Structure 1
């Protein structure tokens, strides 16, 4: 290098020259500059040598070079791995553009659905979807176009052979595309559908079992009651044929008693099915419970302590007052039966607000204000299997002949029909608490007693009553009863015939109609009558109150509801009362 400088007279720059310095075991890297020194004649007379130790920089560059090489190797490996994943993945992979076309697709599309990459890219996803999933998927796709990812979004994609597979998608939007991964969940969906079918079959079997229990209970009780009706009638006929009239009253009384028992059973069944007519009104809970105290204490017996705790300012409720009282008495009697060795029964009432979240977990309740009435005992409690069946009709743990099994089912039906519910909490050996929820009343008027009944001034012969009843036997008996008591009576077997008679030349004072009529029903017939004759009084009769008459609060003014079966004296008294009120109102005008 020195010879070169002397020979050429040019400076030399040696970069990163490795030099082992005396006393050091490692090489050092030096940047050397050799520059000629000239005399007065311009000849090279010497050489200037300068150097910089750049070992650290050289080593740093070497390490960086190694890192770059390692990074390049890893990039190559990862690219190869991604390629293998793309090729071997059993899931559908692809990038979906804003028009609903997959710009790329992996081989799984062909192995799973039968479509090649070219076929996938040539068809919109909406061409491949099951028709029932198109709109739902379109809504989800639109969300991804606004940056919202799709997580576990299921839909059905058409296979090339015409079948469909369920795919669960994950789609992540980025840079104008939605990067998608779809997993085949067809087997899972088919298993879920099979499980649902099995559960439906089980529920149907349970319903049929409950229906069998219900019809069996009804048949058993009604056979006994029919025997108590048929036998006295047969004995009466035999006595009359023999010319013997002594003891007939006893047979009549026996038949009527069985009929009343049958009527009670039907009312309980209607309560369970939520088809009983309810006279819903503003009921004062505190006053009702305190008014029942003496009856409850007598029903409970001397060895049972009765405690009544009512929260200050407890609200009124909108319900049927008589059904509410009956429910409380029945619950206390049940509590008494659970205390064979004595104990305590506590009645309490408090205001509660059911929020939206709580309502979702409380069967039968909407969010809002309720009064919670509890009947709690310290008795024997119920095991879980009995608690699960407590509301089933005709289910009872009492000995044969000591209970119909309709008490709790009746209370449950009444509460649900009142837009409330019943909840039972019980621990075997630790007592039971029945919680009755009834909706808070928003009415300012509380229930009031009936006023004195006006006495009719006209004779019954001057009154005209239209009887509309599709049951021939019932209609014939009612018509004969009214005519025997001096009323002028018209009769019709259906709503259309009743409307025709109302538009006839004879003035009708009272319409007495069944609710469940063929053609126009009784409620429609009543509306027709009142629209043409506003002063006409109407009595609707029903044995099964569906939507036309399940709540007497919804009946128009001047319409009275009678529940079948009723006895002759009750019908005559009701007719007389309604006509007397009509005459009293007419006198005021």
Structure 2
């Protein structure tokens, strides 16, 4: 975790144009500054430093997250420019540190602008002077913790305690908390009053009751009171009763219940004077009803949360299994697909009957590859290429495809929200998800019907998010697909996202459509929910996180290059630890016209690279024993900066895919691949300018 944080911090520095900063190029920085920056990069704590007359800022990855919209412009910028809105509040602290004195401030309130608007926030700072090699203060370094949530929780707690105290002091009913003691009469034979409100003293006729033991207060009545409340403590069963107090002449109605856990040995007692009934009976009944409703609500909430957790754990376990199966199956398919392509290309082009058999086998491998891709999607192990996305534009662009897939008997309707937020998602995978939902909806309307695709902005609040495992509250872009079909029973809904679960007859679907949707949405940090009733149709809602500060236009993807045959002068190094896969890759590249060298691991590959400067491209598997493909590529490029690299893998939890997203600048060809796909990818990488 520390290494990952340090790498991200180093990448922040590498991505900054230091020519625009008063600090200049990092190579020119004094040793004291470089040492301070290295220390900061190693720290998981959010840290920044300011150096020089303008206190130009350098910070680590943790602090970049705290900056919000101020990053990346803040890197290298003068401190006062970055935090101008709070300068009046922090300038004295900064001056103190620059004067050579370290200081610490806890929960300092500030109004900061970092996400397009000002908002109150609280921070804890530790300022330390930074000195050059001569001991002169040249800047300062700051550890910073944002304590906004803690302060707000304390404020809410203070307000809650204030309200409770006001209610406690002013309520007409007497209220006290007693704690049982062991005494001369045996275990739990006495109790002491630990809390009591003014109404208690007034109704009981005993002032200053807190701290008094019942056997000292009312010796003659103590046995009766101890027995009643001890039964409540030991059994956990609340009790309600009425009793006349002889010493005051008042008739009281009392309710007592145990304060859990029982080890606290405390019982709460609520009572009122029922000599006069203006209002006290009604208040007690309402209080009781409210408590019962709250208990029922909390129990229902807990049951829903537990069920969601069980479902999430089940899906995660199945996902791990299916992801591993898909990885191994992809490697086997890679051999089969390459063998079929080479067989057809080299030996069977003039044999129609043999080609028919080869084409049948190719179709089978294509369907198997699609199956493994869906398994990887469900297990949240597919490499995503997310981009700023306008869901309205994407849905509009799918209209022809959807009409073709739905057929003439289904009426297609789109309801698009105005002012729709952008999201950050893989457009191809979102299209696949919508298409899967549309095909499912079509099959649920065998006699025709209406399919509606709706977009909208949504806010998922804390209460809703708490019942969905792994979901964060906040702003989301919603895409909903609604049909007027057969609908689902609650039992079917509970299993709808399970892989291979289907209600269709044999031969109609694999049962992976909704599983693929589930995996893509979860991998994208979103949420998916089914609403359905038998005979009333179904709505599936996809929620993808809102993207703030998106560009005005969506990113445009370039079309894939066509397959090109090489002229035999370009050399490709194949690095693959599985012999069968390596052999097929070598044969395929040779057939495409490349001169091919092969290695079964990193050590052999580096020896070949040193011995053969003519190698133009390295085609490397990512997952290998010892040094993986990514580390091999880094070392190879250190020796040969001009070397082109194309990765391949059948498994996406590896060194080039992090959090489900392909690393920037990485070229990846997933297994299995056809001869044409291999040729196109190799040609595209070789022709790409570095």
TM-score, with structure 1 as normaliser = 0.59
Please tell me whether the aligned partners of residues 282 and 446 of structure 1 are also in contact (alpha carbons under 8 angstroms): yes
Distance 2:361 2:640 in 1: 41
Distance 1:486 1:418 in 2: 40
Aligned to 2:465: 359
Q: Using a 3 Å threshold, how does the CA distance of structure 1 residues 258 and 510 change in structure 2: closer, same or farther?
A: same
Aligned to 2:667: 560
Aligned to 2:160: none
Distance 1:420 1:434 in 2: 13
Aligned to 2:439: 333
1:520 aligns with 2:627: yes
Displacement of 1:511 in angstroms is 1.6
Equivalent of residue 450 in structure 2, options 344, 364, 380: 344
Please tell me whether the aligned partners of residues 561 and 680 of structure 2 are also in contact (alpha carbons under 8 angstroms): no
Distance 2:264 2:512 in 1: 49
Aligned to 1:404: 510
TM-score, with structure 2 as normaliser = 0.51
The structure with the larger Rg is 1
Moved more, 446-455 or 534-543: 446-455
Distance 1:488 1:92 in 2: 94
Gaps of 5+ in 1: 1-81, 97-103, 107-150, 155-165, 173-198
- Give matches, 1:14-413, under 5 Å: 87-90=185-188, 167-168=263-264, 170=266, 245=351, 247-413=353-519
Aligned to 1:448: 556
Aligned to 2:586: 479
- Give matches, 1:502-513, under 5 Å: 502-513=609-620
- CA RMSD, aligned part only? 4.2
Q: Using a 3 Å threshold, how does the CA distance of structure 1 residues 432 and 364 change in structure 2: closer, same or farther?
A: farther
Q: Using a 3 Å threshold, how does the CA distance of structure 1 residues 325 and 246 change in structure 2: closer, same or farther?
A: closer
Distance 1:487 1:301 in 2: 46
SS at match of 1:548: coil
Please tell me whether the aligned partners of residues 182 and 189 of structure 2 are also in contact (alpha carbons under 8 angstroms): no
1:439 aligns with 2:535: no
Displacement of 1:579 in angstroms is 0.8
Distance 1:578 1:318 in 2: 26
- Spell out, residue by residue over 1:411-438, the C-alpha distance to the aligned partner (whole angstroms, 9 max, x if none): 1001111111211011111111100111
Please tell me whether the aligned partners of residues 353 and 367 of structure 1 are also in contact (alpha carbons under 8 angstroms): yes
Moved more, 492-501 or 271-280: 492-501
1:501 aligns with 2:608: yes
Distance 1:397 1:412 in 2: 17
Please tell me whether the aligned partners of residues 515 and 548 of structure 1 are also in contact (alpha carbons under 8 angstroms): yes
Moved more, 477-486 or 247-256: 477-486
Please tell me whether the aligned partners of residues 454 and 581 of structure 1 are also in contact (alpha carbons under 8 angstroms): no
Q: Using a 3 Å threshold, how does the CA distance of structure 1 residues 421 and 547 change in structure 2: closer, same or farther?
A: farther
Aligned to 1:58: none
Please tell me whether the aligned partners of residues 277 and 549 of structure 1 are also in contact (alpha carbons under 8 angstroms): no
SS at match of 1:376: strand
SS at match of 2:615: coil
Please tell me whether the aligned partners of residues 566 and 592 of structure 2 are also in contact (alpha carbons under 8 angstroms): no
Q: Using a 3 Å threshold, how does the CA distance of structure 1 residues 532 and 86 change in structure 2: closer, same or farther?
A: farther
Distance 1:485 1:547 in 2: 28
Moved more, 446-455 or 416-425: 446-455
Displacement of 1:152 in angstroms is 5.6
Displacement of 1:515 in angstroms is 1.4
Distance 2:680 2:429 in 1: 23
Distance 1:84 1:486 in 2: 93
Displacement of 1:287 in angstroms is 0.9
SS at match of 2:498: coil
Q: Using a 3 Å threshold, how does the CA distance of structure 1 residues 152 and 554 change in structure 2: closer, same or farther?
A: farther
Displacement of 1:560 in angstroms is 0.7
- Spell out, residue by residue over 1:161-182, the C-alpha distance to the aligned partner (whole angstroms, 9 max, x if none): xxxxx9345599xxxxxxxxxx
SS at match of 1:573: helix
- Spell out, residue by residue over 1:169-214, the C-alpha distance to the aligned partner (whole angstroms, 9 max, x if none): 5599xxxxxxxxxxxxxxxxxxxxxxxxxx99x979x969x969x9
SS at match of 1:438: strand
